[in-house]
A and B are shown apart, each in its own frame.
Chain A
Amino acid sequence: MTSTFHGLETARRALATQQAALHTTGHNIANANTPGYTRQRVNFTQTEAFPSPSFNKPGIPGQIGTGVKAGEIQRVREAFLDTQLRTESNKHGYWEGRHTALHKMEDIMNEPTENGLANTMDRFWQSLQDLAVHPEDSGARSVVRERGIALAETFNHTYESLEAIQRDYQNQIGVQTNKVNSLLTQINNINKQIAGVEPHGYLANDLYDQRDLLVDELSQYINIKVEQVGSGGLSKEVADGRYTIKLLNDEGKETGFTLVDGRSLESNEIHFTYAGEDGSGPVNGIFIAPAKIMDDIDHVNELHGDSRAIFLESMEDFNSPGKLWATIEAYGYNDKSGNEKGLYPDMMKELDLMAATFAAEFNAVHSTGWSMSEIEEGTKSGYNFFAFAEVTGQPSINPDTGNIAGAAKRLMLHSDMEDLNNIAASGAARNGVEREEAFSGDGSNALALAGVKDATLNFGSTRTNIQTYYQGVIGEMAVKTNEAERMTKNTAVLKDSVEERRQSVSGVSLDEEMSNLIQFQHAYNAAARNITTVDEMLDRIINGMGVVGR
């Protein structure tokens, strides 16, 4: 025999449970637009039936239901999609970062237009042709000088613009490192909070959401792997536990570095070091150090020799793709053998090589020719046309000894060229033999100088003319940019589609919530009606029974 008030209790449980479901629906609706929010669901469970099978069970037929309770409030989420999204988001982060860098570079190089380096070279060549036609004309000479200055300045400007962006990228590395470190710390903090909640048998759904959002964000910057560690105690089976975050390399394999440790509830920070003593120069190493020791030190360099910190000497050991790596790659880093690599340094080196090689050849041809002033004096001084600015504290640029770093930035006209009559338009060397005398009407050297544009020169390992070489440089950049753009789009599509699938599982649908709302409301109403019925029944028993003949 069940209790008299059994019906009331069953209905009360229903009321409470439906109410909980309504509250959760409200929570879902409220967070419909919250980034990272996962819709929640109340898991309804039937309460234990009566009687429970035991020796002294009452002799009543069957088991009778005792109603419902809210088992747990669970996030509707598919962990596999998280992993997938993070992988795609990581790739997207890398390609997007790379594309932005190359896009900016493309803006600076500004080819093919009427204002790029190629056009400046063409115009310089034209002025030399004009000089060859009018070698005695000082007007033609001054055009050559001005176009020469324009060429040098185009080199300077292009190089300096690249440098400016490169400096920007160094800041970016700092900003992104801070961001990553902050994310790691935040994840660790949430880990700690979750560790405090879960052992009591609760599900910290909103903390899970926050943490997943942070992990999603982190995955843009570096390639990571998330492992779950149980909190112990009375943790629910469906509890997410604490996260251990490990660093992956570009092949998606573990590098052996743990950034957030879910077991010890500790996190690490990463810090980059630069080759230059003043913090300039390429990235040449990285520290992975516990966050807690970072407060004790003023500067990252103090970590050298600290046993608690791990120092990776080569950036190739930290080969985790993502936005951060794209930024480092754009800015420049030292590879294992100590050579500087990177998108911007590479382009700057190309410009240096071009400027130095071209200037050296141009000077060589120029100095064999005869200028107006040399013709007048009758002796040859061998003037140079181009020179490289001297910068205090930096070695002179000398293409012969191979020191050409910064050549494009320091290219300028030689001081000899202040006198227009020192431009050597006449008396080109014939078959390598310099001439003994020359006349002003002879434009042969100007012609030879114009020919430098088409002369086969030695650019490192390539032998070609400067135009073709430059075209190659631009072509390579264009292809890289094109690839980066395509990959950015592709990875965005993949990322979006995974994101969509995740939304499809975890996103809040208002229509759905509204139908649920109605469903739960009706259930609530029905339960209430049930109470009324039981109430009427009890009323009959209590007030309507045993009053016969009254």
Chain B
Amino acid sequence: MRVTQSMLTHSSLRHLSQSYQNLHTLQNQLSTGKKISRASQDPVVAMNGMRYRTQATEVSQFKRNLSEVYNWMDNADAVMDKTGSTLHRVRELAVQASNDTYEETQRKNMAQEIRQLREHLESLANTKVNNKFIFNGTNTKDAPLSADKINMGIEVLAEDPASHVITYNSEVYELDAEHEGEGLVFRKADSNETITITDLGGENQELIFNNGSGQTNELLERQIVVSEKGAVSTNNEKVEIELMKGVNVPVNVNPGKVFSADFFGDIIQLEKALEDPATTSEELIGLIASFDRQIEKVVNERAELGARYNRVEMIDDRIQEQEVIAKRILSENEDVDIEKVITELLAAENVHRAALASTSRIMQPTLMDFLR
């Protein structure tokens, strides 16, 4: 083939530009650390890159969510721990008081201590973490417990019995509308146990407890505790936080199972019993059983929380692992192997130098240089 100067110039230029392009690509890879800088360089890497990035973002978000989950659970656990030990102290005092050797003033002092413990429990129920009430289900803005609406005195029932409840021996009784005309009948939910109040506030005021199968006994006014219905929140909804795709973990304890109306009712009932000199030790022993029930409820709820905590820890482990994997995959997909690129760069540079050198050798001499 006939070769002319301009062909040489052209092809030299083309080769030089090609090796420049090569250098450019390698240079880009080195300075960005990425295999590709545009999607078209490798569509598969680009598409995977988008997916892996999303994955990595998700994992790091779930990790962030995790800290909030721990926040809720750790605080709830700590409060339940304190609640448990406080209840134990109350029970201790009840046991102590049930010993008939104590005098009236000593019992009153015990009642004093119990009142303090109750107030402590009230403040525990209204625990606020991060500006949220953690024992009020999803209603984290309002305090779950209004202490002044508990223990209203029996008189309030005369006015508006429907919006009040009675607690007695760890149970809650609500007004039963079916029994109109027979005095005020309060019934325990889902059972036939009733407390009937006749001649409220009158001389012949009577409180009759019916165990549902016809067995009745009369109650003293101090044995029951009347509270407003909203005194203890009944929002038992779960606060859920997503920790993995589609895995929502409830982070709050069910407040209805711990700080319920009967929980505080039982304590107040004990306080009142201790303040009444006529209270027998048998009655006090009977009340101890209430505290056993309450302690059991707290323990159960705490155990449930603990179990859930374990599960969260397992999820945590998995997220940590996933994070590492996600980042590794992301890196494997789009990060360059620096050693490889540098080696390639050196090779490309050699080629480029050779191209430059040969171009300079070829381009210069023509026949003109040798013709005299």
Chain A contacts with B in 178-212, Cβ cutoff 8 A: none
Q: Which of A130, A133, A499, A504 contacts B1 (CB 8 A)?
A: A504
Nearest Cβ in chain B — how far from A76, in angstroms? 10
Whose C-beta in chain A lies nearest to the C-beta of B21?
A489
Q: Are A130 and B64 in contact (CB under 8 A)?
A: yes
Chain A contacts with B in 434-449, Cβ cutoff 8 A: 438-444, 447
Asked whether any CB of chain B lies closer than 8 Å to the CB of A126, the reply is: yes
Chain A residues with CB under 8 Å of B371's CB are 514, 518
**Other A-B pairs beyond A118-B50, A130-B61, A503-B10, 6, CB < 8 Å:** A132-B65, A136-B131, A447-B248, A450-B242, A477-B40, A503-B7
Asked whether any CB of chain B lies closer than 8 Å to the CB of A485, the reply is: yes
Chain B contacts with A in 315-370, Cβ cutoff 8 A: 334, 366-368
Nearest Cβ in chain B — how far from A113, in angstroms? 9
Nearest Cβ in chain A — how far from B72, in angstroms? 9
Chain A residues with CB under 8 Å of B139's CB are 439-441
Asked whether any CB of chain B lies closer than 8 Å to the CB of A471, the reply is: yes
Asked whether any CB of chain B lies closer than 8 Å to the CB of A511, the reply is: yes
Asked whether any CB of chain B lies closer than 8 Å to the CB of A508, the reply is: yes
Nearest Cβ in chain B — how far from A43, in angstroms? 18
Interface residues on B, range: 35 or more
Q: How far is the CA of A514 from the CA of B14 in the complex (A)?
A: 27
Q: Are B10 and A441 in contact (CB under 8 A)?
A: no
Asked whether any CB of chain B lies closer than 8 Å to the CB of A478, the reply is: yes
Q: Are B46 and A475 in contact (CB under 8 A)?
A: yes
Q: How far is the CA of A133 from the CA of B47 in the complex (A)?
A: 30
- Interface of B with A (CB < 8 Å)? 1-7, 10-11, 14, 38-43, 46-47, 49-51, 53-54, 57-58, 61-62, 64-65, 68, 130-133, 136-141, 235, 237, 239-242, 245, 248, 334, 366-368, 371
Q: Are B68 and A475 in contact (CB under 8 A)?
A: no
Q: Are A126 and B57 in contact (CB under 8 A)?
A: yes
The 0/1 profile, CB within 8 Å of B marked 1, for residues 472-508 of chain A is 0011011101100100000000001001110111011
Whose C-beta in chain A lies nearest to the C-beta of B69?
A133
Nearest Cβ in chain A — how far from B370, in angstroms? 9
Chain B residues with CB under 8 Å of A130's CB are 61, 64
Q: Are A129 and B65 in contact (CB under 8 A)?
A: yes
Chain B residues with CB under 8 Å of A173's CB are none
Q: How far is the CA of A504 from the CA of B8 in the complex (A)?
A: 11
Nearest Cβ in chain A — how far from B327, in angstroms? 15
Asked whether any CB of chain B lies closer than 8 Å to the CB of A122, the reply is: yes
**Given A441-B140, A477-B39, A508-B4: A133 and B241 within 8 A (CB)?**
yes
Q: Are A136 and B7 in contact (CB under 8 A)?
A: no
Chain B residues with CB under 8 Å of A507's CB are 2, 4, 6-7
A501, A511, A512 interface centre (most CB from chain B within 10 Å): A511
Asked whether any CB of chain B lies closer than 8 Å to the CB of A510, the reply is: yes
Q: Are A111 and B50 in contact (CB under 8 A)?
A: yes
Q: How far is the CA of A174 from the CA of B67 in the complex (A)?
A: 60
Q: Are A500 and B7 in contact (CB under 8 A)?
A: yes
Chain A residues with CB under 8 Å of B5's CB are 32, 508-511
Q: Are B57 and A122 in contact (CB under 8 A)?
A: yes
**Top 6 A-B pairs, shortest CB-CB distance:** A441-B140, A481-B40, A478-B43, A442-B138, A478-B39, A439-B139
**Given A438-B138, A504-B3: A106 and B50 within 8 A (CB)?**
no
**Given A482-B43, A508-B4: A426 and B138 within 8 A (CB)?**
yes
Asked whether any CB of chain B lies closer than 8 Å to the CB of A515, the reply is: yes
Chain A residues with CB under 8 Å of B43's CB are 475, 478-479, 482
Chain A residues with CB under 8 Å of B10's CB are 496, 499-500, 503
Q: Are A439 and B40 in contact (CB under 8 A)?
A: no
Asked whether any CB of chain B lies closer than 8 Å to the CB of A543, the reply is: no
Q: Are A509 and B2 in contact (CB under 8 A)?
A: yes
Q: Are A133 and B46 in contact (CB under 8 A)?
A: no
Asked whether any CB of chain B lies closer than 8 Å to the CB of A119, the reply is: yes
Chain B residues with CB under 8 Å of A119's CB are 53
Chain A residues touching B, majority SS = helix
Asked whether any CB of chain B lies closer than 8 Å to the CB of A392, the reply is: no
- Interface of A with B (CB < 8 Å)? 32-33, 102-103, 106-107, 109, 111-112, 118-119, 122-123, 125-126, 129-130, 132-134, 136, 426, 438-444, 447, 450, 454, 467, 470-471, 474-475, 477-479, 481-482, 485, 496, 499-501, 503-505, 507-512, 514-515, 518
Q: How far is the CA of A109 from the CA of B49 in the complex (A)?
A: 15
Q: Are B241 and A443 in contact (CB under 8 A)?
A: yes
**Given A441-B132, A467-B54, A510-B367: A106 and B40 within 8 A (CB)?**
yes
Whose C-beta in chain B lies nearest to the C-beta of A513?
B367
Q: How far is the CA of A110 from the CA of B132 in the complex (A)?
A: 42
Q: Are B61 and A129 in contact (CB under 8 A)?
A: yes
Q: How far is the CA of A168 from the CA of B247 in the complex (A)?
A: 49
Chain A residues with CB under 8 Å of B53's CB are 112, 118-119, 122
Q: Which of A111, A442, A450, A515 contacts B237 (CB 8 A)?
A: A442
**Given A118-B50, A438-B138: A504 and B40 within 8 A (CB)?**
no
Whose C-beta in chain B lies nearest to the C-beta of A447?
B242
Q: Are A500 and B11 in contact (CB under 8 A)?
A: yes
**Given A130-B64, A478-B43, A504-B2: A510 and B368 within 8 A (CB)?**
yes
Chain A residues with CB under 8 Å of B241's CB are 132-133, 443
Q: How far is the CA of A450 from the CA of B61 in the complex (A)?
A: 12
Q: How far is the CA of A12 from the CA of B133 in the complex (A)?
A: 120
Q: Which of B47, B133, B239 contacts A475 (CB 8 A)?
A: B47
Whose C-beta in chain A lies nearest to the C-beta of B368?
A514
Instruction: List 17 contacting pairs A-B, 8 Å CB cutoff, sorted by A.
Output: A33-B6, A112-B50, A125-B57, A126-B61, A130-B64, A438-B138, A440-B138, A441-B138, A475-B46, A477-B39, A478-B40, A481-B40, A482-B41, A500-B7, A500-B10, A511-B5, A518-B371
Q: How far is the CA of A129 from the CA of B139 in the complex (A)?
A: 19
Q: How far is the CA of A126 from the CA of B334 in the complex (A)?
A: 23
Nearest Cβ in chain A — how far from B40, in angstroms? 3
Q: Are B7 and A106 in contact (CB under 8 A)?
A: no
Q: Are B242 and A440 in contact (CB under 8 A)?
A: no
Chain A residues with CB under 8 Å of B1's CB are 501, 504
B366, B367, B371 interface centre (most CB from chain A within 10 Å): B367
Q: Are A109 and B6 in contact (CB under 8 A)?
A: no
Chain A residues with CB under 8 Å of B248's CB are 447
Chain B residues with CB under 8 Å of A467's CB are 50-51, 54
Q: How far is the CA of A129 from the CA of B368 in the complex (A)?
A: 78
Q: How far is the CA of A528 from the CA of B65 in the complex (A)?
A: 103
Q: Are B46 and A112 in contact (CB under 8 A)?
A: yes
Q: Are A440 and B141 in contact (CB under 8 A)?
A: yes
Chain B residues with CB under 8 Å of A501's CB are 1
**Given A130-B64, A439-B137, A441-B138: A474 and B14 within 8 A (CB)?**
no
Q: How far is the CA of A441 from the CA of B138 in the complex (A)?
A: 4
Q: Are B46 and A474 in contact (CB under 8 A)?
A: yes
Nearest Cβ in chain B — how far from A493, in angstroms? 9
Q: How far is the CA of A443 from the CA of B40 in the complex (A)?
A: 41
Chain B residues with CB under 8 Å of A500's CB are 7, 10-11
Chain A residues with CB under 8 Å of B39's CB are 106, 109, 111-112, 474-475, 477-478, 481
Whose C-beta in chain A lies nearest to the C-beta of B1?
A504
Q: Are B132 and A133 in contact (CB under 8 A)?
A: no
Chain A residues with CB under 8 Å of B4's CB are 503-504, 507-510, 512
**Given A130-B64, A518-B371: A505 and B242 within 8 A (CB)?**
no
Q: How far is the CA of A515 from the CA of B47 in the complex (A)?
A: 60
Whose C-beta in chain A lies nearest to the C-beta of B39?
A478
Q: How far is the CA of A508 from the CA of B8 in the complex (A)?
A: 12
Chain B residues with CB under 8 Å of A443's CB are 239-241
Q: How far is the CA of A112 from the CA of B46 in the complex (A)?
A: 6
Chain B residues with CB under 8 Å of A129's CB are 61-62, 64-65, 242
Nearest Cβ in chain A — how far from B256, in angstroms? 14
Whose C-beta in chain B lies nearest to the C-beta of A479?
B43
Q: Are B50 and A471 in contact (CB under 8 A)?
A: yes
Chain A residues with CB under 8 Å of B239's CB are 441-443
Nearest Cβ in chain A — how far from B267, in angstroms? 27
B40, B51, B130, B248 interface centre (most CB from chain A within 10 Å): B40
Q: Are B47 and A471 in contact (CB under 8 A)?
A: yes
